[in-house]
Structure 1
Amino acid sequence: MVEEQAEDEGMVEEQAEDEGMVEEQEEDEGMVEEQEQAEDEDEGMVEEQAEDEDEGMVEEQAEDEDEGMVEEQAEDEGMVEEQAEDEGMVEEEDEDEGMVEEQEEDEDEGMVEEQAEDEGMVEDEDEDEGMVEEQAEDEGMVEEQAEDEDEGMVEEQEEDEGMVEEQEEDEGMVEEQEEDEGMVEEQAEDEDEGMVEEQAEDEGMVEEQEEDEGMVEEQDEDEGMVEEQEEDEDEGMVEEQAEDEGMVEEQAEDEDEGMVEEQAEDEGMVEEQAEDEDEGMVEEQAEDEGMVEEQAEDEGMVEEQAEDEDEGMVEEQEEDEDEGMVEEQAEDEDEGMVEEQAEDEDEGMVEEQEEDEGMVEEQEEDEGMVEDEDEGMVEEQEEDEDEGMVEEQEEDEDEGMVEEQAEDEDEGMVEEQEEDEGNGRGTGRGRGKW
C-alpha cells in the first residue's frame, strides 16, 4: 500500500509539480492562519509537549519520532489538512487533474480514504487536545502519512519556504522543541536509534531538505551549530577571538619579536625619563653604561664640571651662591630661566638624550640591545640592580655623590651648566640670555 502510494504517478507528481499548490501554500492568505495555528501550537502543542514531556510525551514523541516525528509535526493539529483545506485548497486539490481521483484510489487502499472521507476526523483531531498523540499512536495513519510525506507531502511541506520558515521561526516552537532540555538529547538518541538515518535514507527527503532554502541549514545550524562553533573555534573562531580579544597574545608574540619591548620602550622611555628625572635622571645616567661616559665626553662638560669641582668650582659656586648668584639665579628663574630650562629640557634635553650619539635610538632600535633584552640583559640589569647596582647607587647616594649632584642641581649646578652653556662652555644650547 505504501509502495503504491509512493509509486502513485499522479499524486506525488501532481503534489510535487502542482504549480498552484505550493505557491498557494506559500502565498496562501491562510498563512496567517498557519501562523495562528503555529501560535496555537505554541500555546497548546508546545505547552502540552512540555507538560507531556514531563509526563512522558517526549518519550512517546521519541518513539513516535522513530515512527514518524516529522509526520507528527506535519500532521500536528491538522496543519496539513488545514493547509490542504485552507480557503479552497481542498477544492483546488479536488479540481486538480486526477489528484482527488488518485486520492480516492488511495482511499480505496485505505489511508487517504480515511483522511479525505472522514469529514469529522480532521475537525475532531484539530479540536481534540490529544489529537497529536492519537495521530502519533495511529500505527497505520502515521506510518502511511510518513511514507506519503516521504514520497511527496512532507517534501512539499518542507520545501514550502514559508511553512518551514514559519515553523522554524515560529515564536519559540522549534527552538523550544530543539532547545528543550531533553528534546535534543532524545533527538540525539533517536538519531542514534535511526531517525536521522531514516531521514537521511529517505528517498529525496534529505535531498529536498538539503535543497530547501533554509530548513537543512537551520537544522544543520540547530544540530551542528555547537559542533561547527567548536570546529570554528578549533579552526579559526578562537583564533579570531584570540586575535580580537587576544591582542595580549599578539603583544606577547610581539614581545618575543620585540614590538612590545620597543613600544614599551617608546611609550615608557619618556615616562621613564620623566620618572628618572623626578627620581634621579643623574642616577639613570650614572647607571647607563655609556651615558655618563658620553656625557663626560660630551664637549667636556662633565669633565669640566669634574675639573671645576676638583678646582673649586663647587666652592666658587657656593661662594657665588653666598654672594648672590643663587639670588640672581632665583631672579632669572623668576624671569623665566626655569621656564627656559623646562622648555630646553622639553626641546633639548630629551632631544639631546635621544639624539646623543643615537643612545636612545640605539637603546630602542639596537638589534643587539633588544636581543640582549630578549636574552636577559634587562633581567641581568634588574638582577644586577637587585644584586647591588641599585644598592651601590643607594650607597653612593648615602655617601653623598648622587645627593650632592641632586643638591648641586637644586642649588645651581644644572643652572650653572646652562649658564655655562650660555657662556659658551656648554653643549651649544645657550639661550643668549647671558
Structure 2
Amino acid sequence: MMQVIIVGGGWAGCAAALQAAKMGAHATLLERTDMLLGTGLVGGIMRNNGRFTATEELIAMGGGEIFQTIDTNYLHKNIQFPGHDHASLYNVATMEPIIKKLLLKAGVEILCQTRVTDAEMEDKAIRAVLAKNRETGETVKLEGDAFIDTTGTAGPMANCTKYGKGCAMCVLRCHSFGGRVSLAAKAGVQEMICKRGDQTGAFSGSCKLFKESLAPEILETLNTNGVVVVPLPKDKALTGKLAIKACQQYALPEFANSIILLDTGHAKLMTSFFPLDMLRQVPGFETARFEDPYSGGIGNSVRYMGMSPRDDSLKVKGVLNLFCGGEKAGLLVGHTEAICTGVLAGHNAVKYAQGKDLLILPEATAIGDAVRHVRKSMQTEKGMSLKYTFSGSVFFERMKEKGLYSKDPQTIAKRVNEAGVSGVFNQK
C-alpha cells in the first residue's frame, strides 16, 4: 500500500490526509499538539464572498467532504458584516472532534503530540521522517512514498518575539508542544518570508473574547444575529493596525473605526490585537476578557514566516516527493484556501506515488487560478507584500474581473464541468 505522510494537522493537513486515504493510500497525519485544525480551532468564517464559489467548486470536483461536514456545524448561516456577504460561522468549540471522527472513519492514522525532528534524504527525495512523541519521549521513523508539508507559517515563539510583540499565548501553544518544525526546511528547501514595508511576516487577523465577559445586550445580539458592530470613538480607532494583518480582506475602514464581533462560539474580535484598558473603556466591554490569544491586549501570532517554493501541482521545488498545502503553499489566507490546497496536495501526492501525471487545476476555476496566480505573484517584490484570498483584497477583485465569482451552485458546477475537472477528486 502507498504510504503518504502528512506533517501538520491544520485544515490543509486534514484535507490532504482525507484525500490521500480516499484514493487508497495509507495516510499518516502528524500533529505536534493534542488537537487538529490549528488556527481553525479559533477561526470559524466560511463561505463569505468568493469563498462560497471556491467551496462549491471543490464540492463539484469531488473533494468537498470536509466542506460538507463543516456545513453541518454552523451557528449562523448567510450573515452579512462589513465588506462580506453570505458568510457562515461554524462552532469552534465542537468542530475539531467532528473532523477527527471523519478522518478516522476514512482510515487516516492520526498521531497527535508527535513532532517531526528530522528528514532522511536520498537522491533529492525524502525517504523517512523522524518524529518524537511528547508523552512517551519515543522517536519513531516513518517511511513514505510521498510527503506533504502543511506545517503552516506561524511560530515558533522566537519569530513572534523578533517580528511581533512576543508570545501572545495563542491556540498554537508553542510553549507547551514546541514550535513549528518545517518539513521542507528539514529537507533543505530555502523557504520564503513575506515582507511589507518594515513588517516581516504578518499578524493573525483576529482575537477572541470570552462571550460571557461582554454586556448582556451585546451578548444577546451576538447570539441572535451572529454579528455585532459597535462604532468606536475617534480617539480609540485602530488606525495603523490594518496594514499588519494577515487577513487583508478585513483591512477595511470599518474594521478600524468599529468593534466588529462575530459569533463562532467565542466572540471573534476582528482585529489583530486591542489594548485591554482601551477596550474596557468602550460601553458594553467594561469587563471584557481575551480568550485567544490570552495576551490579545498587546499582540498576536506572527505568520507567513516560511513558505515553500512550489509549482502549480503544489510539488515543492527541489524535493522530488514533497508537496505542500495551506499557508506553506504561499500567501493564500484562510480556512477555505487551506482546505482547497490540502485536497490538491493530497491528490497529487498519491498520483506521484503511483507514477502518474500530476493534476494542475485549470485557470477557468477560481481554485486553479488562485494556485497559479499566487505562485506567479510571489516571484515579485510587490507580490510578496500582498495577501490573497477568495473572500477579499486583490484576489477577490480578480475573481470578479474574470467572471469567476458566483453564488449559484449550479452555475459553478457547470463551469467546473466545462473545465473538465468535474469529480476529478473522486478518482480512486
TM-score, L = length of structure 2: 0.21
Question: Which structure exhibits the higher relative contact order, with contacts defined as CA atoms closer than 8 Å and separated by 6 or more residues?
Answer: 2
Greater fraction helix:
1
Rg larger for = 1
Greater fraction strand:
2
